[in-house]
Amino acid sequence: MDATSRSAGADGAGPPPRAVLLDVNGIEVIYNHVILVLRGVSLQVREGGIVALLGGNGAGKTTTLRAVSNLLEGQRGEVTKGSIELRGERVEKLTPAELVRRGVVQVMEGRHCFAHLTIEENLLAGAYTRAGRAEVQASLEKVYTYFPRLKTRRASQAAYTSGGEQQMCAIGRALMANPTMVLLDEPSMGLAPQIVQEVFEIVKDLNAREGVTFLLAEQNTGMALQYADYGYILESGRIVMDGPAADLAANEDVKEFYLGVGGGQRKSFRDAKSYKRRKRWLA
């Protein structure tokens, strides 16, 4: 696939779109040799973008991120069809550590901080692919400027910090690898709305000021579409819709099934999900 796209408009108006950093092309993923979970997922992430991968429980968001960061093996999963390219280079055969060296780092769902380590020890663990001590120290200071709460809590054992602090620690740990792209799995999970917003604001800042690209798997569609520039909606292992975040947020189906707003009355997410199974999106 073409790694760069056409420049915007024949009159040259607007900046040209950025190059494609990640190109996932028609991947199928199977767990335990029999359970087909992704059925031909394609998506692109451009350099410097924030792309949201949306969908309900079990849609395949985590599986897609694991396929990109090559973390399927431990789950007895494998990519059986399609390709994954990073800047035009096939990466399906790389190890997770090689991907980290190429700038792709995943923040797992559920945060996964090392409970018995301090916040600072957790952050330093994220720098395992980096050699220079001074560089690592500079990254640590940078993480603390984005997450001042972590600086305050640097000596606390992670187990005794709040869910929000652990989420920040998990993102901070990913940043210690100096990534080009962070795959962020459900950062809002289990957090109070105010903390979710705080986390998303930091993501936006990291994107704007450090140029970090994000691929963000989220069930919190409303929040994700506020911060993303582009979104994909996954349903039962297939992408059923994609577009600029503002277009998705304004789309009637998305409003009805994912934002809980439809026909003038709010629906619970659970109602929307059971209804959406009967709906044919692309009919």
Do the Cβ atoms of 64 and 71 come closer than 8 Å? no
Alpha carbons 114 and 122: distance in angstroms, whole number: 6
Amino acid in position 143: V
Pick the closer one to ligand ATP by CB: 76 or 209: 76
Least Å distance, CB 199 to ligand ATP, is 17
Cβ count within 10 A of residue 238: 17
CB 21 within 8 A of CB 45: yes
Q: Which residues from 53-112 bind ligand ATP, rule CB under 6 A?
A: 55, 57-63, 75-77, 109
Residue 242 corresponds to which tokens in the numbers above? 């994609």
Cα 180 off chain centre by: 13
d(CA 59, CA 217): 11
Binding mask 176-215 for ligand ATP (x = CB under 6 A): ----------x-----------------------------
Instruction: Give the shortest CB-187-to-ligand ATP separation in angstroms.
Output: 12
Please, what is the minimum distance in Å from the beta carbon of residue 64 to ligand ATP?
7
Residues in 138-157 that interact with ligand ATP by CB under 6 A: none
On whether the CB atoms of residues 172 and 203 are closer than 8 A, the answer is no
Q: Which is nearer to ligand ATP, 20 or 183 (CB)?
A: 183
# chain residues binding ligand ATP, by CB under 6 A: 18
**Choice from 25, 30, 31, 154 touching ligand ATP (CB under 6 A):** 31
156: region left, alpha or beta (phi > 0 left; psi from -120 to 50 alpha): beta
Residue with Cβ nearer ligand ATP (17 or 110): 110
In terms of CB distance, is 32 or 265 closer to ligand ATP? 32
Cα–Cα distances in angstroms (integers) from residue 220 to residues 100, 224, 260, in the given order: 27, 6, 11
Q: Name the site residues for ligand ATP (rule: CB under 6 A).
A: 31-32, 35, 37, 55, 57-63, 75-77, 109, 186, 219
